[in-house]
Structure 1
Amino acid sequence: MDRARALGRLKFSDSGFRVMTLASALIVLVLLAGVAISLFLGAWPAFREFGVGFLFSDAWSPPREKFGAATAIYGTLVTSLIAMLIAVPVGLGISVFLTELCWLPLRRPIGVAIELLAGIPSIIYGIWGVYYFRPVMQSYIQPFLIGTLGNIPGIGFLFQGPPFGYGVLTAGLVLALMILPFITAVSRDVFDTVPPVLKEAAYGVGATTFEVVGNIVIPYTRVGVIGGVMLALGRALGETMAVTFVIGNATKIQSSILAQGTTISAMIANQFADADPGLFTSSLLALGFILFVITFIVLAAARWLLASLEVKA
């Protein structure tokens, strides 16, 4: 009888735990669906008024109630691309250095310093970008790019225009600094999971550190590395305050990455407080819904890629 009661209590506890975890998972799904539905309902007047052309128009004139998302979408994608092109190789390089080359007493202090960057509020990055990084861009980096890369046929159009300091490139560089800790921390942790015997065997047959990293460490941890990169990309796509401070907030698409621009998050942050009810507010909500969809697509693609890599492994 005591045994039966004990088993009954354990079964009840297990069932209760299962129900609680299921409820927690369903709450997340309900909240996610609620956010998507509320954004879509708020954006529907803009979608109904402008149709598919809303995605491809760079018009943004609140007085004339003409709105388009192309400039914000372009700025979001380009700044994120610039940030990833810089942060991914640098972050992986730092991770390799910390796990394979760094003097042991320095590994922890350097690792903690990198991770502390992730805890800095984005507005601090924005203030630093405006008062310290923008003058450097305006006085040194942008004039150098204009005078060198700006004269190369084929890519010169990307580096033309006056050196204001603000711009898409500046925002991309600040974003790169912000997402660097995410890539570095995740990559370092997954690099540490590589069995030492694999690396020792490679070194034993005469492999160099470069060969060990390229043929052992990276292939063994590719799923975790891609996960960290996608986490950083999600942060870059949705960043608001730091980008708002340094991108310039122009509402027209320009081919030069030195020119001022905007992103979806920056446009919403700048204009939502002053938006009149109607198409203006609906258009801003439409931008939010588009950002939601872009982020969802990116994360879904990342999950599909990770699943395919796990199957191959």
Structure 2
Amino acid sequence: MIKIFIAITLLSSFSAWSKPCQIDIYPKSFLLTNISTRLTKTLIKKSNCDSATNNEFIRFLIDTKGNTSGNQISRVFSSLVNKKVKITPDRISIFKLEDYLTEKLSFTKSWYIRNIKAPTQLSAITLEKNENLNVDCPSCSYPGNKSIRLVINNTMEGTNKYHMLNAKLQVKTLALVPRGIIKIDNQPLSKSMFKKEEVFTENPSELFTNIDSLVFYKVNKSINNRPILINDLVAVSLVKAGMPTSVVLDNGVISLKSTAMPLRSAKFGETVQLRSSRSNKIIVGKVIDYNKVSISL
């Protein structure tokens, strides 16, 4: 009885592999989403496989990128599901639309197309063998919000179809991101409060990135889970009026140190007048640290 059961099982397994089902997809697909339930109806032209196999195949395609062949996909996917599945056509291209547009529109390696929104709620753009996808974005020479026109050209019929998209052209760069919530407490910042992370932004110049200068600033608003911006910071007073301050003179030839009395409070980088404790003369210096001013001759 056991031998009969094993034989039936083997026969069923052989039968499943000897009679493959077939999934026919579009030769070229550009994905706008990773949601398999939305993509199933869009990417599959026809199929005689069961719905579970179709759904599993779409999840497989989501992780596929580039140009390949139906035979190659058939071999890999069939081994994954332990079931013979034939995939057509012969030549297949699968890309994330974000990646494809980034390659076409980015002027540098650090520019990326992100946050694509299609008015018609497209899940993917699919093309036949004789169709090509062209991209039109006149304002994509600089970062920001963009309106992008996709032109699907049919070379055999000489016709065009259009899709209008909205997206962001952003720059990938290093930024300082708080390790936790930074609250307004009127205290200077420190390096330990932040970590360096790669982020996407449309305005890199707005980011504060000088980690060594953090100690000269405090926040003017609570910050959590986002890069710190220049506008988030207020400089703290490093020298205070009437409080003895170290004065440094270094012109590359000689280096002198003395003390002087600031006539007003001043922040990092500001120029301030001081009264010399030796000569009682007024000197002018630039604030470079806590109770420290630099004088250049």
**TM superposition score normalised by structure 1:** 0.23
| Larger Rg computed on CA atoms | 2
**TM superposition score normalised by structure 2:** 0.24
Q: Which has the higher helix share?
A: 1
Q: Which has the higher strand share?
A: 2
